[in-house]
């Protein structure tokens, strides 16, 4: 074996070790969120030593009982991953001070632009468990979430208030982030819309942002009854409970963010046909906010998009789609014309027109 081949083989071994243990990255990020480390440093106003951080970890009766050696090792990996920064103020034996980075700022609980609830959702055993059934799903078919938890995800949420809150909090935080990108880049998309129904809008936080920016819009937040039952009151917005597979409230335009990827092509066609009935054939449109896969792409979120396609296997019966796959679904539902608009987010905007 020549030197080049030996180096490639060793790199292959290193890669497998990396992928084998990559779950540790999400677990230490979850740990940082649970301990509120980013919040502690942010509230302090600057870098802190581990001793200072430990003294401020919430819900701890006795700070001396905390294992600082564990936290030291956890922070070492988080620094390696550039989630936190580490530096010493001077030479000698002074303790390392840890600061925020552009990544850890997304873990702040009290920030409007936070992914902390999504970290807690995706790293929870309820959602990690289904990943262990992937090979069984390949062999036998069926739904990974149901195999792991005994129920389909939507039934599980309706029967489990704890999971329902965890799920809604995760969806709400991603909604805020995505809506920020939409409102920055899709400035002309809502101008002529007088009424907008958000299908699968959760507790309404995303639609509330649209209505706040465009007060002339009458907003209809549409989701399952158990979801809207916990939704807060927003100005200019009405909550309606129902089933998108049965009927969708009429409006000038339909808005759907991260809904279609939860469902099969056949189910998406059915949803879109109901959307078509809810809007004007002449002037209506459906605004779809979803990932458009680029399997060979090198853009910032292309790799994450492919991972999210597997998240759909683990959690729902859906899939992420390429542009050609979107075209097939849209045409099957009676939308011959569409337009894809890139925004600074994991998702893109797909405008679909019935004429």
Catalytic residue numbers read: 261
Q: Which of 223, 226, 244, 206 has its CA nearest to residue 156?
A: 226
CA 130/CA 317 separation, integer angstroms: 12
Q: DSSP assignment of 262-319, as one string?
A: GS-HHHHHHHHHHHHHHS-TTT-EEEEEE-EE-TT--STTHHHHHHHHHHHHHHSS--
Q: How many helices (H) and strands (E) does the chain have?
A: 16, 12
Place of tokens 């819009």: 217
Q: How far is CA 23 from the centre of its chain?
A: 18
SS3 of residue 220 by DSSP? strand
Residue 245, both tokens: 């597979």
In sequence order, what are the residues at sequence separation of 6 or more whose Cβ sits closer than 8 angstroms to the Cβ of residue 329? 260, 265, 268, 269, 272, 321
Element (H, E) at 46: none
Residue 66, both tokens: 């905390």
Cα–Cα distances in Å, from 96 out to 49, 85, 104, 302?
A: 6, 10, 17, 36
CA 116/CA 183 separation, integer angstroms: 22
CA 197/CA 184 separation, integer angstroms: 20
SS3 of residue 249 by DSSP? coil
CA 341/CA 326 separation, integer angstroms: 14
Q: Which residues pair with 292 in a beta bridge?
A: 321
Task: Sort strands 237-241 and 218-223 into parallel, antiparallel or unpaired.
Answer: parallel
CA 69/CA 136 separation, integer angstroms: 39
């Amino acid at each position: 074996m020549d030197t080049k081949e030996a180096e490639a083989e060793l790199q292959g071994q290193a890669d497998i070790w990396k992928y084998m243990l990559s779950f540790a990255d999400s677990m230490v990020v979850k740990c940082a969120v649970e301990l509120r480390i980013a919040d502690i440093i942010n509230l302090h106003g600057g870098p802190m030593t581990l001793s200072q951080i430990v003294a401020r970890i919430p819900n701890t009766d006795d700070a001396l009982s905390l294992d600082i050696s564990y936290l030291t090792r956890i922070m070492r990996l988080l620094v390696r991953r550039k989630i936190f920064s580490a530096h010493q103020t001077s030479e000698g034996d002074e303790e390392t001070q840890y600061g925020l980075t552009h990544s850890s700022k997304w873990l702040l609980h009290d920030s409007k632009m936070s992914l902390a609830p999504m970290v807690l959702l995706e790293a929870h055993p309820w959602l990690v468990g289904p990943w262990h059934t992937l090979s069984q799903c390949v062999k036998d078919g069926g739904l990974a979430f149901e195999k792991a938890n005994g129920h389909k995800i939507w039934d599980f949420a309706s029967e489990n208030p704890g999971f329902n809150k965890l799920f809604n909090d995760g969806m709400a935080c991603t909604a805020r982030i995505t809506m920020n990108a939409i409102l920055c880049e899709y400035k002309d998309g809502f101008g002529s819309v007088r009424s907008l129904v958000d299908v699968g809008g959760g507790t309404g936080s995303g639609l509330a942002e649209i209505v706040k920016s465009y007060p002339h819009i009458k907003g209809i937040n549409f989701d399952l009854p158990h979801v809207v039952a916990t939704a807060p009151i927003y100005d200019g917005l009405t909550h309606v409970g129902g089933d998108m597979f049965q009927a969708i409230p009429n409006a000038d335009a339909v808005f759907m963010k991260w809904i279609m990827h939860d469902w099969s092509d056949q189910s998406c066609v059915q949803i879109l046909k109901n959307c078509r009935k809810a809007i004007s054939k002449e002037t209506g449109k459906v605004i779809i906010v979803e990932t458009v896969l680029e399997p060979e792409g090198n853009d910032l979120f292309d790799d994450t998009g492919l991972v999210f396609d597997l998240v759909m296997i683990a959690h729902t019966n859906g899939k992420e789609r390429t542009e050609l796959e979107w075209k097939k679904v849209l045409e099957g539902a009676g939308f011959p014309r569409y337009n894809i608009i890139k925004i600074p987010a994991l998702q893109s905007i797909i405008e679909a027109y019935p004429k």
